[in-house]
Amino acid sequence: MAAPDSSKLALLQLKCPRCHEGPLFTHSAWHLTKFSDMPDHCPVCGQSYEPEPGFYYGAMYISFGFAVATFAVCGVLLYYLAGDPALWVYVTTVAAVTLLTAPLVYRYSRALMLYLFGGVHYDPRWQHGRAATPLSARG
């Protein structure tokens, strides 16, 4: 499968921001003990996945935005579909949805952080690891 030219598609597929080929995570999102494992560098182009120490602390804010969206969407859907049920139904539903989507929220929060603030942009010359110059010279 060819690497997507669109950064949005590469983000949705959780691929490297520079070459759009290398995976951002090493295991499936549903592998409960290793869903958060990321390689240090892209296996295709060598791009570092942690631009600076502590870089992903900012992903907590993105994750918080996902949590607020979850609360809002679940609340509105329950209100209109279930006819304003009891408070325990809201709490149980939001808790269940939050737990079920936690691995995906974690992954997409980190990916968005890397794509938006990592300072790396798509360069088709890096596909298949065929850069014109060595990694040490490009910086």
Q: pLDDT (tens digit, 9 = 90+) per residue, 110-133?
A: 999 999 998 888 877 777 656 544
Please state the three-class secondary structure of 44-83 as a single string: CCCCECCCCCCHHHHHHHHHHHHHHHHHHHHHHHHHHHCC
| pLDDT, position 130 | 60
- Closest by CA to 111, choosing from 33, 46, 22, is 22
Whether the pLDDT of residue 92 is over 90: the answer is yes
Whether the pLDDT of residue 32 is over 70: the answer is yes
The reply to whether 1 falls in a domain is no
Query: Domain range for residue 101?
Result: 7-138
Average pLDDT (48-52) is 89
> How many structural domains are present in the chain?
1
Residue pair 112/59 in contact (Cβ under 8 Å)? The answer is yes
3 band by pLDDT with thresholds 50, 70 and 90: low
The reply to whether 23 falls in a domain is yes
The reply to whether 26 falls in a domain is yes
